[in-house]
Amino acid sequence: MDGTRVLDLGDVELSCIIRGEGPLVLCAHGFPDDERSFRAQVDPLVERGFRVACPTMRGYAPSGVAKSGRYDAEALACDLLAIADRLSPTEKVRLVGHDWGAIAAYAATAIAPERFSHLVTIAVPHMRAVMSRLVRPAQLRRSWYTFYFQLRGIAERGLAKDDLALVDRLWRDWSPGHRPAKEDMDHVKAAIRPRIEHVIAYYRAFFSLRAMTGETRRLLLEDTRVPALYFHGEDDGCLGVENIEGMERFFRKGVDVHRVPRAGHFVHLERPDAVNPPLLDFLTR
């Protein structure tokens, strides 16, 4: 049944929009975004006979905040696995992730590859392809905000300033040819405004000792063992398209990589005409 459900996963309660009937496609959004990130894909997926679940990720409103305080990739992955178990306990799930949702998806498929039949990631290549390139000068300039978010108190005030003007700036910088509707940006900001500390916590967790040395690092650097599809906009101002080079060798079941011209970081919103046909073809195989 279509509608919004609140799923109690133990550590956190997640609001989840569910549409359609059929095999489950689980779509995880990133930053700065919300559960409507896949609005250009939901209807085509439903028309193809899928049930689509779009959770609001932990920390973002109207979902809850983590009781444990954890916002690392392992915790995000466990949320996706818990949703899969709740909504599709006996059947494998098709998993789609953009930005932080992609990072969570890589980790989820590393924890339990047998739970997923297909993996689609957008705008964040496999971490083993990215890690050595993050320190290149061009990428360091693009990633300035990740270091800014480490400044406790300063980052919170800066993100909140002028009606979250930094969110508008990041969308402009990351997708320079795209101008989202004001109502869409208002919705994005409504998910972030009351939860700034928790949204920033994703970036602090990424640079934590746990992420650098522990289970989270292992999960993100492990080869992907689920058949995969990948999209990256050629004009991406967040992670340069050069970061996808050679990523195919980290996918044991193969990956079909699509470089999308005239698109930036939010490629699935900017160019659904280029994303949806291969996406639907892949997920219906």
What structural domains does the chain harbor? 3-283 (3.40.50.1820)
Percent of the chain with pLDDT over 70: 100
Which of the four pLDDT bands, split at 50, 70 and 90, describes residue 1? low
CB 211 within 8 A of CB 217: yes
232 or 214, greater pLDDT:
232
Q: What is the pLDDT of residues 45-58, one digit of tens each?
A: 999 999 999 999 99
| Residues 265 and 124 sit within 8 Å (Cβ to Cβ) | no
**What integer best gives the mean pLDDT of the chain?**
96
Strand partners, 96: 27, 120
- Annotate 146-185 with DSSP letters as a single string: HHHTTSTTHHHHHHHHHHHHHHHHHHHHHSTT----HHHH
Q: Which amino acid type is present at position 106?
A: Y
At residue 60, the 3 state secondary structure works out as: coil
What local confidence, expressed as pLDDT, does residue 134 receive?
84
The pLDDT tens digits for 129-166 are: 988 888 899 999 999 999 999 999 999 999 999 999 99
CB 20 within 8 A of CB 2: yes
pLDDT tens digits along 179-228: 999 999 999 999 999 999 999 999 999 988 777 777 888 899 999 999 99
